[in-house]
């Protein structure tokens, strides 16, 4: 009789392990994976910053990018006032600068 009780309990001990594995699977797809995607998008945005872009820092400061280094960004927050920030301190790009090659100015020629 003791032997029959052991055999029936063997399948029940597999259930808690299965629940733990399912819990970790759900946590991965609901929490870890979306956070990795957001971090990847932020790194891509920060690496694409160039002079002339209007950005907002994590502190809420609006400025125009005057220069870019490997680790820092030089922002012009007012005419003649430039501040240096770490590249990860840029929260978002407000307006992307248009490349000089695509901007065509029409000039009237007077004869």
Q: Show the low-confidence residues of the chain (pLDDT under 50).
A: 101-107
Question: Contact at 8 Å (CB) between 65 and 77?
Answer: no
d(CA 52, CA 97): 5
Tell how far CA 84 is from the center of its chain: 20
**Where is 84: in which H helix or E strand?**
strand 81-86
Tokens of 17: 């392990």
> Contact 19/58 with Cβ under 8 angstroms?
no
Tell me the C-alpha distance between 38 and 44, whole Å.
Answer: 10
70-98 pLDDT, tens digit per residue, is 899 999 999 999 999 999 999 999 888 77
pTM recorded for the entire structure: 0.61
Q: Give me the pLDDT at residue 17, please.
A: 92
Tokens (6 digits) for 58: 């994590």
- Per-residue pLDDT at 47: 87
């Amino acid at each position: 009789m003791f032997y029959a009780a052991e055999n029936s309990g063997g399948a029940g001990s597999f259930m808690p392990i299965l629940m733990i594995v399912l819990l970790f699977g759900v946590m991965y797809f609901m929490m870890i994976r979306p956070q990795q995607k957001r971090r990847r998008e932020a790194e891509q945005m920060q690496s694409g910053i160039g002079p002339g872009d209007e950005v907002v820092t994590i502190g809420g400061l609006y400025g125009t990018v005057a220069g870019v280094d490997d680790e820092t960004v030089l922002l012009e927050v007012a005419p003649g006032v430039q501040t240096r920030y770490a590249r990860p301190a840029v929260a978002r790009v407000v307006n992307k600068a248009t490349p000089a090659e695509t901007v065509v100015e029409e000039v009237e020629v007077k004869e």
